[in-house]
Amino acid sequence: MSQKFVIFTDLDGTLLNHEDYSFEDAKPSLEYIKKHDIPLIFTTSKTKDECEILQKQMNITAPFIVENGAAIYYPDGRVDQLGLQHHQIKNFMDRWIDEFKILSFSNMKIEDIMEYTLFSYEQAKVAKSRDFSEPFLIHDERRLTELEQLAEAEGMKILKGGRFYHCVGIKQDKGVAVQRTLKHYPNSICIGLGDNYNDVAMLKVVDIPVLIPHHEGKYIDFELENLIKAPYKGSLGWHEALKKILL
């Protein structure tokens, strides 16, 4: 393999199946990536602790981007922060919880998170502990635009993920985080894989963007001239798309 590649990947609904969070079908590509020393960089809404657990499970040592572009963590301990601190975001969300009938991670019991995500108790506990973002559900999605305007006035924005909306700092951006990380991988061909609207910023800045069908088997409404659409959802689609690119 003469070309140098670096891979940025979303996790939930992309490398991990939406339904069971399994990456079993991706293992052949993961083995190929490890064998050829291709950096695999998680670019996800998940937290630092969640990413570290998954890196151990997959035997990966690489930087990773957390909470929708909030920060880049490097293996040597360096952190490049783009986002606001969690307490700032929580303070904003708490002020509007009653008005918009918001159900946020911070105000959910671990058992509630388990119910909505199908996480185990330990997975839900780790996911609840956030540094830079607040996942939430809103009772009436027609009022989301109002909440977005209020958030923007305070230097925040709302992103749509696979299961939850996410309130984040306005400078939090997967695309910007990818570009910052790429400075450490000069002359590499950059692949990006994602399945949802919070992945669009990442897909726009990579050399080879790959769109995975979301959990209902359909693609989000997004087009790019060089966009590759994976044939299947989840880890199987992830594997099949990378197999065609790398082999």
Burial of 36 (0-12, 13-18, 19+ CB in 10 A): exposed
CA 37 to chain centre: 22
CA 114 to chain centre: 19
Q: Are 73 and 111 in contact (CB under 8 A)?
A: no
**H/E element, 208:** strand 208-211
Q: Are 190 and 197 in contact (CB under 8 A)?
A: no
Cα gap 179→206, rounded to integer Å: 8
What is residue 199's DSSP assignment? G
Q: Which has the closest alpha carbon to 205: 190, 195, 194?
A: 190
199 carries an active-site annotation: no
* Helices 234-246 & 27-35 angle (0-180, nearest 10): 40
- The active-site residue out of 10, 12, 173, 195 is 10
Instruction: List CB contacts of 220: < 8 A, sequence separation 6 or more.
Output: 195, 196, 197, 200, 211, 214
Task: Name the token pair of 178.
Answer: 């990818």
**Which positions are annotated as active-site residues?**
10
